[in-house]
Structures are given as structure tokens and as C-alpha cells.
């Protein structure tokens, strides 16, 4: 395990020497195991984390996606039965698979799956003690974010490609430093979990197409972060309604001039909001 998850080449060498030095005797029963490990080291690019840092795996270093895809195909699409012919197989994949994909997308769009929200909240909780002033915006997409353990160590976060200079972020996984920028600066990431109303709306559009409801349908009180651009329409409507309500509440004994001034105020506010 130490060899597999070594972060640097020096740590890998130390773990290798520690393993092989324990089996210096020829009659050691672990000698066969060490010989097997030494053979696997020749294919270290396939399983050693230190040699896979420059490969964009998005945090998934196994074949879980392919295994899960085959499970869905066998258990859900084909119901563990054999298709009679190629036409029947195509029919299953074009009808049942399509319906399954739509249901899965809508389960996330409607907020029925709490996994992305909980994972995002857990990453943000690791950086909640870090002040926004300590982070530095390099340009429109890159930010320098301090480490959660050492303020003197800075990690470069690239929001355009969803990368970070930390061990997890180098492989394209959504790390706590990216979550910090996403949460504090409202910057979108290509690998961020679907936690905002805009994300859920995009998933619903993919599933429903033209039948998708408007964006407000997917907003709720538990939204973690709302981009300022997307919330502009809501702010405009809320401000207009607030102004209308405030101006409409006139005391029963108010004069005609006061009522006229209130109506003029409503008109002026609405004109400013339209501009």
C-alpha cells in the first residue's frame, strides 16, 4: 500500500527497499511474493500513483465505470435475459436504456440524490477556516489557494480545465482547493458536482429537451451557491415586487397626492429595472 500510494519517487524507493530488505534470506516464505511485486514494478505506470499524476483520471483509478456500465446493461436493460436477436438487442438499448438514462438525470436534477451535495459540503468544510483574503486571483481562471494545514504553501487552481497543483487535483479530481474557489468566488468548474440550480437545470435540459421547465423550477432553499449572473433575474423580480408592495401600502387616510407619489415611485423603479 505504501508503494502504491507513494506521493514522490523518494517515498516509493523507501517503501520498496523496506519491503525487499525484509526478505534477504533465500528460505524466507515471503520471497515469492516479493518476486511477484518486483515483476509488477515493471508495469508500475499502470498502478503506482506517483507515475499516474499526469494522467487525467478525475480521481478514478480503477475500472469502476466499465464494471458499473456492464451491470446496468445486464441487470436493468436486459433484465438478466438473453435478447433473441440483434434487432431485439437494438430495441432494448434504444428504448429501455434511453428511459433509464432520463430517469437517472432527473433524479439528480430534482435533487433526489444527496451524494453530490454532501461531498461538496464535506470538501468546503475542510477549507472553511481559510479566509478569502488569503487567496490570490492570478487571472480569470487561475487562483492561488493556501493549504488548509500550512498557510505558507500555495496551490494553483485552474478553473478552466478543473485542475489543481495538489496530489488529488493534478489527476483532475475535484479537490478541496477547487471547492474553495467554486464556493467563495462563484467560479464554474467542468468537474464540479451538480449542486447549484444552474447545474440541475442543465441536467434537466439534457434529459427533457424542449419540455424542460424554466430554471426557477430547480431552485430551492438548500442551494449552496448561486451565480450572480443567474440570480439577476430573480433579484430584479424581487426588487420590483418589493417596491410595488412598499408603495401600495398606503394608510387609509392618505391624500391623493401621496397616492400619486407612490404610483410614480413604482413606475420609476420598474423603469430602472428594465434598463
Domain ranges of the chain: 9-51, 115-198, 232-274
Cα 165 off chain centre by: 17
Query: Cα–Cα–Cα angle for 46, 52, 57, nearest 5°?
Result: 95
The whole-number pLDDT of residue 24 equals 59
pLDDT at 248 > cutoff 60: no
Confidence class of residue 228 from pLDDT cuts 50, 70 and 90? very low
Confidence class of residue 121 from pLDDT cuts 50, 70 and 90? very high
pLDDT at 226 > cutoff 90: no
pLDDT at 247 > cutoff 50: no
Query: Which of 78, 116, 120 is CA-nearest to residue 97?
Result: 78
168, exposed or middle or buried, with CB in 10 Å at 0-12, 13-18, 19+? middle
The whole-number pLDDT of residue 260 equals 47
The whole-number pLDDT of residue 104 equals 92
The whole-number pLDDT of residue 242 equals 39
| Cα–Cα dist 240/236, whole Å | 6
Joined together, the cell numbers standing for residue 74 give 445486464
For residues 228, 234, 235 and 238, what is the CA-based torsion angle, rounded to 10 degrees? -160
DSSP-derived 3-state class of residue 158? strand
Share of the chain above pLDDT 70, in %: 77
Range 181-204 average pLDDT: 91
End-to-end CA distance of the chain: 62
Amino acid at each position: 500500500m505504501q508503494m502504491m500510494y507513494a506521493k514522490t519517487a523518494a517515498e516509493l524507493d523507501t517503501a520498496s527497499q523496506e519491503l525487499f530488505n525484509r526478505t534477504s534470506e533465500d528460505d524466507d516464505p515471503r520471497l515469492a511474493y516479493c518476486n511477484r511485486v518486483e515483476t509488477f514494478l515493471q508495469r508500475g505506470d499502470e498502478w503506482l500513483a506517483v507515475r499516474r499524476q499526469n494522467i487525467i483520471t478525475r480521481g478514478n483509478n480503477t475500472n469502476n465505470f466499465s464494471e458499473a456500465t456492464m451491470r446496468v446493461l445486464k441487470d436493468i436493460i436486459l433484465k438478466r435475459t438473453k435478447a433473441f436477436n440483434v434487432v431485439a438487442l437494438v430495441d432494448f438499448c434504444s428504448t429501455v436504456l434511453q428511459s433509464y438514462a432520463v430517469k437517472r438525470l432527473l433524479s439528480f436534477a430534482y435533487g433526489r440524490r444527496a451524494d453530490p451535495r454532501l461531498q461538496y459540503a464535506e470538501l468546503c468544510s475542510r477549507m472553511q477556516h481559510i479566509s478569502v483574503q488569503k487567496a490570490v486571483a492570478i487571472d480569470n481562471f487561475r487562483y492561488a489557494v493556501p493549504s488548509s494545514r500550512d498557510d505558507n504553501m500555495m496551490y494553483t487552481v485552474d478553473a478552466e480545465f478543473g485542475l489543481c497543483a495538489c496530489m488529488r487535483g493534478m489527476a483532475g479530481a475535484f479537490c478541496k482547493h477547487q471547492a474553495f474557489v467554486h464556493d467563495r468566488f462563484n467560479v464554474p468548474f467542468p468537474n464540479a458536482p451538480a449542486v447549484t440550480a444552474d447545474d440541475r437545470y442543465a441536467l434537466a435540459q439534457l434529459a427533457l429537451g424542449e419540455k424542460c421547465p424554466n430554471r426557477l423550477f430547480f431552485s430551492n432553499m438548500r442551494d449552496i451557491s448561486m451565480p450572480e449572473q443567474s440570480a439577476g433575474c430573480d433579484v430584479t423580480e424581487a426588487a420590483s415586487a418589493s417596491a410595488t408592495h412598499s408603495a401600495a401600502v398606503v394608510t387609509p387616510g392618505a391624500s391623493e397626492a401621496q397616492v400619486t407619489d407612490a404610483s410614480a415611485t413604482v413606475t420609476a423603479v420598474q423603469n430602472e429595472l428594465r434598463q
